[in-house]
């Protein structure tokens, strides 16, 4: 009599192919092997994925900088590198559980948006996200430059922009209009770099802290104004209201106050 094979794997494989036990066991073994391979690949690839996300983020920041007239030269002079952080707009602090990687998923939840009242909604948004991704340049422990995404309702549709502020959080370092639907040749001229180049040096608030920034209806007449665009009064007003909203208490106001106090 042949000796009994005590190896369980060989005993299973020796069963007829139509055996239910063999089918179930082989399927289980294949599944376990695949799970082990997937888990191993996840561990091996995680550092690569992290590095790729970091590279993508730096490329995004570089693209933003390129869109803002004079910003690349400003960063080169400072010798610094922009970093990114997600802020909670309610308290002006860095978000605890929301990162650039999961921000989009977070904002897909309607519960992470705030409905704006008629007196608050000067930018015509209807509602405001509770979290926003911003870009910072630090000089030691202090913030020397901040880039803030803005949005508002223009004459032809939504306007998107990036506003850069210097370390006093009151002086504009630059602006870039990143998206709009304004009338070509009129309000659409807000995308021209020549118009955007007039923003650096403009101050948002006066000595009393009152917000004075505006796009003038004609040539700028003071340190708080930028030149208007002929025939585009509504677009200029929309840009004014967009900046005022986002720099106010319902937008980045709490964040700017925290930065000015050296608490961010």
Environment class of residue 43 by beta-carbon count within 10 Å: exposed (0-12), middle (13-18) or buried (19+)?
exposed
pTM confidence score:
0.75
Q: Break the chain into its structural domains and give their ranges.
A: 9-35, 68-260
Are 226 and 216 within 8 A, CB to CB? yes
**Average pLDDT, stretch 27-53?**
70
More confident position, 114 or 53: 114
- Position 72 scores a pLDDT of 75
Closest CA to 182 of 171, 192, 190: 190
Q: pLDDT of 101-112, one tens digit each?
A: 899 999 999 999
Q: pLDDT of 87-102, one tens digit each?
A: 999 999 999 999 998 9
Write down the mean pLDDT value for the chain.
Answer: 85
């Amino acid at each position: 009599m042949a000796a009994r094979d005590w190896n369980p794997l060989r005993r299973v494989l020796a069963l007829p192919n139509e055996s239910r036990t063999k089918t179930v066991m082989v399927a289980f073994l294949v599944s376990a092997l695949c799970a082990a391979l997937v888990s191993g690949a996840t561990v091996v690839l995680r550092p690569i994925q992290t590095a790729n996300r970091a590279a993508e983020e730096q490329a995004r920041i570089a693209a933003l900088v390129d869109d803002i007239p004079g910003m690349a030269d400003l960063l080169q002079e400072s010798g610094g590198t922009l970093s990114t952080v997600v802020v909670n707009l309610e308290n002006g602090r860095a978000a605890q559980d929301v990162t650039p990687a999961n921000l989009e998923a977070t904002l897909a939840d309607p519960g992470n948006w705030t409905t704006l009242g008629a007196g608050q909604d000067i930018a015509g948004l209807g509602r405001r996200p509770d979290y926003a991704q911003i870009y910072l340049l630090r000089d030691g422990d202090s913030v020397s430059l901040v880039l803030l995404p803005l949005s508002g309702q223009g004459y032809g549709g939504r306007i998107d922009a990036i506003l850069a502020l210097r370390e006093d959080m009151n002086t504009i370092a630059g602006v870039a209009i990143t998206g709009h639907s304004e009338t070509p040749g009129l309000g659409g001229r807000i995308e021209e770099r020549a118009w955007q180049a007039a923003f650096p040096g403009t101050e948002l608030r006066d000595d009393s802290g009152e917000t004075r920034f505006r796009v003038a209806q004609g040539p700028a007449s003071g340190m708080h104004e930028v030149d208007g665009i002929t025939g585009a009064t509504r677009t200029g007003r929309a840009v004014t209201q967009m900046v005022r909203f986002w720099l106010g208490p319902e937008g980045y106001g709490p964040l700017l106050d925290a930065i000015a106090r050296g608490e961010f």
